[in-house]
Structure 1
Amino acid sequence: MTLTRAVRTERAGHAVRVGRAGRSRVAGLAGAALALVLAVPGAAHAQTQDRAGERPQGHGAPGLGWRLTPTGTDARFRGLAAVDRSVAWAAGSKGTVLRTTDGGRSWRNVSPPGAGPDGLEFRDVEAFDARRAVVLAIGEGEASRVLRTEDGGATWTESFRNTDPRAFYDCMTFFDRRHGLAMSDPVDGRFRILSTRDGGRSWTVLPDAGMPAALPGEAGFAASGQCLVSAGPRDVWLATGGGERGRVLHSADRGLTWTATGTTVPAGEGAKGVFGLAFRDRWHGIAVGGDYRKDQPSPLAAATTRDTGRTWTAAATPPPAYRSGVAWLPGSRSAALTVGPTGTDLSTDAGRSWRTVDPGSYDTVDCAADGACWASGEQGRIARLTLRR
């Protein structure tokens, strides 16, 4: 049973997100400051300023928080790629793509020509450096597209346009600079996987013989670019909702064969399920989600695995509400962040318990290997992670 157009549109508009574990990256924390926060939660009373020397904006608890950066747009950014402390990319509504090369002091609009007038909705971006990036536009039929740039967004090439009206692409991930995957909601009862071996220049639909059957009503959520994530050279995970239970599918051979496992994150309705995944390595992962409707509670909104996703355990102290994005903090085996419309939560015990550290609205989060973390969301919001008094 496939999703109706109305449900798919709602799923895409409110929440329906490369391997954030394979790409798990963040912007502006020094290693020593991060170690202080993890060792003594909430102890960051000694002011730590970012490189611009500015105070954090907004209101939050002592400790970790977000510093908003000026973007000059009101687009909603559900796609985010942190390259390092200087470089990050964001992709969002109205065909908008932004890039910073100065740590967020300024953002350059590098949107593909015609993407806005064409009504493209970018929901994922994978960036390899300051010049090379791949963006995914979501939607039914030809609205699902992949575009690539090799010159920092000065020019773009469309490398894939979906021609199957039954397909609806949600997320993508890259294992390295050449090999990547994108996923579509079920077609003929199975999730569809798109593969590239040349950095996104060309794409091929993989055979679905190794894909388990989808549950009735099951689909992915293009909420944060984290419904398809990878870790290492071959492992990839796919998050689902809308079916009778929220599931995570795992492949150890770059998407050729998959196994499906139920999680503790509630599903059962089109607005509920697993929205985002992050894997620290091929064994340790975190799943977040819930019910994206504002008037609905989201109990058991996070779960963890220590066996590549074969089993999932509910967080003992979950986030207080629906969360769509999650990322491990670089250099730590126990610290992670999760974000959603009602706030940001920090875990210092590998996802078993969470505490709110910032009340701002964000849809996704990503961290770079050098310790830089970013979050993005509605009304042009893009922020860097910092420390509050």
Structure 2
Amino acid sequence: MASLNKYAPLALAITLALGGTFGAAQAAYVDVLDLPAKASALASHTALRDVARAGDRLVAVGPRGHIVYSDNQGQDWRQASVPVSADLNALVFPTPEQGWAVGNDGVILHSGDGGATWAVQLDGRRIGALVTAHYQALATAHPDDERWAQFAAEGQRLEQEGADKPFLGVWFTDARHGYAVGVFNLILRTDDGGNSWVPMQDSTDNPQGLHLNAIRAVGDELYVAGEQGLLLKWDAQQQRFVALPSPYQGTWFGVVGKPGEVLAYGLRGHVARSLDGGQSWTKVDTGLALSITSASLDSSGDFWLYSQAGHVLRSRDGGQSFALQPQVPLAPVAGALQTGANGIVLVGERGVRVLAAH
């Protein structure tokens, strides 16, 4: 029997070595929510996912906690100080100084200096407990209403699963009132500039718990775009996001518009136009079978669309039709912003590009 165990010392040594390596790796691991974004001279040349205006400043966000900003219309960029390395997906600045960014791991960041420095307001390690406490209090106050216990159970599930639920969109109407939306009907509201957040899963016409991809105001109307054709609009009288009829049952990535006219855009080139606040929609032919990943409105009121491959389309007739813009080099676009009458800033997998508008 001794011969059967002749490799035991070697096996034990390997096990101890691997265990020591694994233990060292465990000891060295730092959660991205506790790890500040690494400074990089290439931050504006690597992947970015959204761009917004903070007064005259431009600010863009992307993976690994990267946030960059420009004070000369996108010609030069500096990296912001960010306390997390989580991937960031969207941002908004309701004022030149006050801004919010959201991303993976349930992170919500706030800046009070136009995007140069950021602080964590909330992360996914706390969201589950927040949801549970909110709905458990309602369940206790209204024991005959089973909805609250169901939402409280959802909060407990979030607690058990940990910080793995991303926020995909954010919108603030001013420096105090805002929303963050994400996967599986995750939606929070704040009325105090993000010092506290209130769950709103019970205030959406989204019984399937579909992903909420974006939230954006068009004039005084607030819209949410989601998967499987989901389009929602805030109803102040009902105090909830009500479902709108949708002309497409695939994924919508966002909305863009001006008072009296709204466009929804999404997968496989699908775009729809509404002139009555989303109550009815007309399909718009973009001529593309590729996803429309971003949209913007220029100072003259023209709509612009951008595809996942980098196509740029412009409408000069209020969104009824679009024409492909010539001589635009293709590169994936995740976010876009007009910089005035003569320029467009695009962000995507290759970082920032500045194009001249034609």
User: Are residue 135 (structure 1) and residue 101 (structure 2) matched?
Assistant: yes
Contact 1:82 1:367 in 2 (8 A): no
How far the C-alpha of 1:195 sits from its partner, in A, is 1.1
- Aligned with 2:226 (options 240, 243, 248): 240
CA–CA distance in 1 between the matches of 2:166 and 2:245? 23
SS at match of 2:188: strand
User: Are residue 180 (structure 1) and residue 178 (structure 2) matched?
Assistant: yes
Distance 1:336 1:279, change over 3 A: same
TM-score w.r.t. length of structure 2: 0.69
Equivalent residue, structure 2, for 1:280: 258
Equivalent residue, structure 2, for 1:56: none
Q: Tell me which amino acid in the other structure corresponds to 2:271.
A: A
Q: Tell me which amino acid in the other structure corresponds to 1:89.
A: V
Contact 1:319 1:355 in 2 (8 A): no
User: Are residue 123 (structure 1) and residue 92 (structure 2) matched?
Assistant: no
Equivalent residue, structure 1, for 2:79: 109
CA–CA distance in 1 between the matches of 2:107 and 2:238? 20
CA–CA distance in 2 between the matches of 1:288 and 1:312? 12
Distance 1:179 1:354, change over 3 A: same
CA–CA distance in 2 between the matches of 1:352 and 1:206? 35
Q: Tell me which amino acid in the other structure corresponds to 1:161.
A: D
User: Are residue 265 (structure 1) and residue 248 (structure 2) matched?
Assistant: yes
CA–CA distance in 1 between the matches of 2:195 and 2:70? 23
Equivalent residue, structure 2, for 1:15: none
CA–CA distance in 2 between the matches of 1:202 and 1:354? 42
TM-score w.r.t. length of structure 1: 0.64
CA–CA distance in 2 between the matches of 1:89 and 1:327? 16
How far the C-alpha of 1:152 sits from its partner, in A, is 4.1
Distance 1:371 1:74, change over 3 A: closer
Contact 2:54 2:114 in 1 (8 A): no
Task: Map 1:206-221 onto structure 2 (within 5 A).
Answer: 206=200, 208=202, 210-215=203-208, 218-221=210-213
| 1:63-105 deviation per Cα after TM superposition (whole angstroms, max 9, x unaligned) | xxxxxxx965443211210245x41100001110001112222
Task: Map 1:142-157 onto structure 2 (within 5 A).
Answer: 143-157=105-119
CA–CA distance in 1 between the matches of 2:182 and 2:286? 32
Higher radius of gyration, 1 or 2: 2
How far the C-alpha of 1:182 sits from its partner, in A, is 1.1
CA–CA distance in 1 between the matches of 2:57 and 2:88? 19
Equivalent residue, structure 2, for 1:170: 168
Equivalent residue, structure 2, for 1:344: 312
CA–CA distance in 2 between the matches of 1:193 and 1:356? 35
Q: Tell me which amino acid in the other structure corresponds to 1:212.
A: D
Task: Map 1:52-131 onto structure 2 (within 5 A).
Answer: 72-84=43-55, 86-113=56-83, 115-116=84-85, 120-131=86-97
Contact 1:82 1:374 in 2 (8 A): no
Greater relative contact order (CA < 8 Å, ≥ 6 in sequence): 1
Q: How many residues align?
A: 278
SS at match of 1:148: strand
Equivalent residue, structure 2, for 1:375: 346
More helix as a share of residues: 2
Equivalent residue, structure 2, for 1:355: 323
CA–CA distance in 2 between the matches of 1:72 and 1:183? 26
Contact 1:317 1:352 in 2 (8 A): no
CA–CA distance in 2 between the matches of 1:231 and 1:125? 16
How far the C-alpha of 1:177 sits from its partner, in A, is 2.6
CA–CA distance in 2 between the matches of 1:198 and 1:329? 31
CA–CA distance in 2 between the matches of 1:102 and 1:254? 43
Contact 2:170 2:180 in 1 (8 A): yes
SS at match of 2:207: coil
CA–CA distance in 2 between the matches of 1:136 and 1:146? 5
CA–CA distance in 2 between the matches of 1:254 and 1:386? 44
How far the C-alpha of 1:378 sits from its partner, in A, is 0.9
CA–CA distance in 1 between the matches of 2:179 and 2:122? 12
Unaligned runs of 5+ in 1: 1-69, 222-226, 268-272, 291-297
Distance 1:368 1:259, change over 3 A: farther
Task: Map 1:250-329 onto structure 2 (within 5 A).
Answer: 250-253=233-236, 256-267=239-250, 273-281=251-259, 283-290=260-267, 298=268, 301-329=270-298
CA–CA distance in 1 between the matches of 2:249 and 2:91? 28
Distance 1:102 1:251, change over 3 A: same
Equivalent residue, structure 2, for 1:228: 215
CA–CA distance in 1 between the matches of 2:349 and 2:201? 36
User: Are residue 197 (structure 1) and residue 191 (structure 2) matched?
Assistant: yes
Unaligned runs of 5+ in 2: 1-40, 129-157
Contact 2:89 2:102 in 1 (8 A): yes
SS at match of 2:65: coil
Contact 1:325 1:339 in 2 (8 A): yes
User: Are residue 159 (structure 1) and residue 152 (structure 2) matched?
Assistant: no
- Aligned with 1:331 (options 290, 293, 300): 300
Contact 1:330 1:371 in 2 (8 A): no
Q: Percent identity?
A: 20
How far the C-alpha of 1:351 sits from its partner, in A, is 2.0
How far the C-alpha of 1:288 sits from its partner, in A, is 1.0
Contact 2:298 2:341 in 1 (8 A): no
